[in-house]
């Protein structure tokens, strides 16, 4: 079931366990539930775990180390250095903190979390190369890098991943950066793969979606309190897609999660799909997502159903605003 991840020697599960939620990003979370969620994800066959120093100010990394530290040799761990820490000395210091948090002497895959225009990218990539030479990281990559930023990064070093927002409700990467990733042999790790729960099969209407999660460019800034962009969104197209998904659930007998994740697993250049849970029971349910494969007719139906929303949201790969990516 595991497969080689891009240009690396890492053998990874197609589902990546996302550790952001364990740090309380999606509401109050009991530590024992977070630890059990991590352990049960490993037990069902997931060996790839994604975290970042920004998730709970290192707490997410600490949880991962405590939950699965005794399984370290069997894990592939990715972490990310925050945008404000991309100066070379800051990257080195951030990596050292992450290693301490994880209780490990190496990180398998280390990424720049967001571009930072105030720091020359060559300097940041140089620091990543040094970390690799020193054995603190095995491979390095980027996150939230659009087409132009990815061109610059791949010219400077051997980029092993680009972590990007990608799901049926947000396909902006398909216009430019996904084809470039495919051509360059850079795997994509998809985050927000279930659209903060909208694709989890709980909501019939966008209007029922929790206000604190309705922040993407699909939502009209005039109607939703947490939205930071100033656009009118594309809610009609979004509701049209949601209705079509429920119809496919009925027709196929698959869950909405299986449809959403199965579609992502089939997409060009996708090397891993990030999914998170809140407890052990939810993690045990990830087994079906590891196994799911969709036939071509269902895949086409999913793409067709989301084409209108893809077109209306356009090419900017920032799911929440504009100007941070290029």
pLDDT tens digits, 17-74: 999 975 655 667 789 999 999 999 999 999 999 999 999 999 999 999 999 999 999 9
For the chain, how are helix, strand and coil distributed in percent, rounded to 5?
45, 15, 40
Catalytic residues: 55
What was the pLDDT predicted at 28?
72
Predicted pLDDT of residue 139: 99
Q: Say what the pLDDT of residue 199 is.
A: 98
* CA–CA dist 171, 108 (Å, integer): 28
Q: What are the distances in angstroms from CA 53 to CA 102, 175, 245, 249?
A: 10, 30, 35, 37
CA atoms within 13 A on the CB side of 268: 14
Yes or no: domain 3-203+256-293 corresponds to CATH 3.20.20.100: yes
Angle at which helix 59-68 crosses helix 31-43, to 10 degrees, equals 50
Identify the segments of the chain with pLDDT beneath 50: none
| CA-to-CA separations, 34 to 60, 221, 264, 278, 293, in angstroms, rounded | 9, 33, 25, 6, 28
3-state secondary structure at position 291: helix
Q: Looking at residue 226, what is its pLDDT? A: 86
What's the rounded Cα separation, in Å, for the pair 179 and 183? 6
For residue 21, the model assigns a pLDDT of 73
pLDDT at 221: 92
Q: Return the domain boundaries, the chain.
A: 3-203+256-293
């Amino acid at each position: 079931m595991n497969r080689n991840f891009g240009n690396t020697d890492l053998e990874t599960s197609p589902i990546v366990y996302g550790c952001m939620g364990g740090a309380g990003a999606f509401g109050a979370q009991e530590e024992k539930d977070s630890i059990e969620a991590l352990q049960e994800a490993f037990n069902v066959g997931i060996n790839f775990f994604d975290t970042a120093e920004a998730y709970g100010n290192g707490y997410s990394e600490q949880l991962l180390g405590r939950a699965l530290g005794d399984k370290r040799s069997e894990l592939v761990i990715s972490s990310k250095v925050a945008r404000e820490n991309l100066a070379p000395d800051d990257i080195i210091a951030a990596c050292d903190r992450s290693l301490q948090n994880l209780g490990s002497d190496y990180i398998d895959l280390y990424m720049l979390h967001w571009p930072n225009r105030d720091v020359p990218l060559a300097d940041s990539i140089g620091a990543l190369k040094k970390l690799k030479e020193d054995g603190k990281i095995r491979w390095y990559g980027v996150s939230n890098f659009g087409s132009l930023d990815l061109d610059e990064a791949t010219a400077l070093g051997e980029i092993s991943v680009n972590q990007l927002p990608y799901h049926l409700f947000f396909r902006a990467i398909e216009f430019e950066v996904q084809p470039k990733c495919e051509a360059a042999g850079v795997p994509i790790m998809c985050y927000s793969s279930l659209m903060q729960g909208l694709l989890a099969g709980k909501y019939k209407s966008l209007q029922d979606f929790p206000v604190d999660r309705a922040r993407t460019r699909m939502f009209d800034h005039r109607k939703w309190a947490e939205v930071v962009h100033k656009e009118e969104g594309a809610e009609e197209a979004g509701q049209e897609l949601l209705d079509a998904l429920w119809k496919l659930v009925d027709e196929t007998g698959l869950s909405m999660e299986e449809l959403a994740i199965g579609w992502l697993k089939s997409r060009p250049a996708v090397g891993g799909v990030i999914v998170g849970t809140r407890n052990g029971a939810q993690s045990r349910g990830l087994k079906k997502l590891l196994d799911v494969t969709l036939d071509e007719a269902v895949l086409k139906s999913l793409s067709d159903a989301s084409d209108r929303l893809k077109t209306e949201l356009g090419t900017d790969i920032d799911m929440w605003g504009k100007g941070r990516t290029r």
